[in-house]
Amino acid sequence: MTADVRYRPANVGDVAGIQRVADDAWHAAYDDILGEETVETMLDEWYEDEAIEAGVEHEAQDFFVAAVDGEVVGYAHAGPHPPRRVHQVYRLYVDPDHWREGVARNLLAEVEQALYDRDVTAYEAEVLADNDRGIAFYEAIGFERVDEQETDFEGTVATEYVFQKRL
């Protein structure tokens, strides 16, 4: 199934596709955890055009998309995370119609190569403690849980696990 998926650096022409995947994936993954209203608020804030464009164009960040027939079906965005002095996966989402096809794993392979090229030796990802699918994914590809934190998502406080992987 994934043979038709192409992986490449994102560009500003991908913004609408990234937003569509974000909308579908966030609702599928987080409505039951954070609530639909909180999910909508976070999508509106974190996925406005300017925010995605800034990530795509930022020299210190790496942003990749997975596309099928030119349509974005997944994306990964990583960059420096100064408070923790490591790099972090800011965003990694796949259209739910393409879950369990290896798209997320392949997107992270692109991220890891870019981080390796930047001489980064480790990176992290934050996953909601109630996101069993996300936790299983990161553990399956070699991440280890290193910390736990409480995060406020527009008034909804949730526990997040911090996972780290050495390159």
- 148-167 per-position pLDDT tens digit: 999 999 888 999 999 999 99
Q: What is the pLDDT of residue 82?
A: 83
Average of per-residue pLDDT values in the chain: 95
Q: What is the pLDDT of residue 76?
A: 98
- 28-61 per-position pLDDT tens digit: 999 999 999 999 999 999 999 999 999 999 999 9
- Encoding tokens for residue 73? 């079906």
- Sequence spans of domains, the chain: 2-120
Selection from 150, 100, 156 nearest residue 126 by Cα: 150
Whole-angstrom distance, CA of residue 26 vs CA of residue 42 = 9
Q: What is the pLDDT of residue 3?
A: 59
Question: Architecture of domain 2-120 in CATH?
Answer: 3-Layer(aba) Sandwich (3.40)
Residue 44's beta-bridge partner residues? none
